[in-house]
Amino acid sequence: MRFAIWLAALPLAFAGEHADLNGVWKNAGNGENLSIHQKENEVEIAESGKEATEIRCNTTGQACKIKGGEVTFWYNGDTLVMMETTHGNARVIKKRLKVSEDGKNLEEEIVHISPAGSTEKVSLERQTGS
């Protein structure tokens, strides 16, 4: 019983440890922007680029429906993790978003799980005033 109560309180204990990902981040390599707005248990992410996308989902690990699949978000310490599954589980991508120590860059690690592929690392720069 005590174990179950402790596990239920665990997300609250780590809530204050989430890095501030809020703002607009620019990928200098391709000029695309990533806009992130965090709330207590929710995140909104908008990407500009070839295909503009907007995702709004909880950060408690419960799946949210998106066009052609689902997405799940959770925090692993100061890292926001996103698992995106599309095309009937034929395409699975895991992304990890973490702010650099100086707060000026957002480090994005993209892991291609299915089909298996190489891991990409992208650095996005925080835009002034965001």
Q: Are 70 and 83 in contact (CB under 8 A)?
A: no
What was the pLDDT predicted at 27? 92
All residues at 6 or more sequence positions from 55 whose CB lies less than 8 Å from its CB, including other chains: 43, 44, 45, 46, 64, 66, 71
In order of their start, the domains of the chain are: 17-126 (2.40.128.20)
SS3 at position 11: helix
Q: Per residue of the chain (130 residues), give pLDDT as tens.
A: 333 333 333 343 344 567 899 999 999 888 899 999 999 899 999 998 777 789 999 999 999 999 999 999 999 999 999 999 998 889 999 999 999 999 999 999 999 999 999 999 999 999 987 6
Token code pair at residue 30: 């391709």
Residue 94: both structure tokens together: 């895991």
Q: What is the DSSP letter of 126?
A: E
Amino acid at 16: G
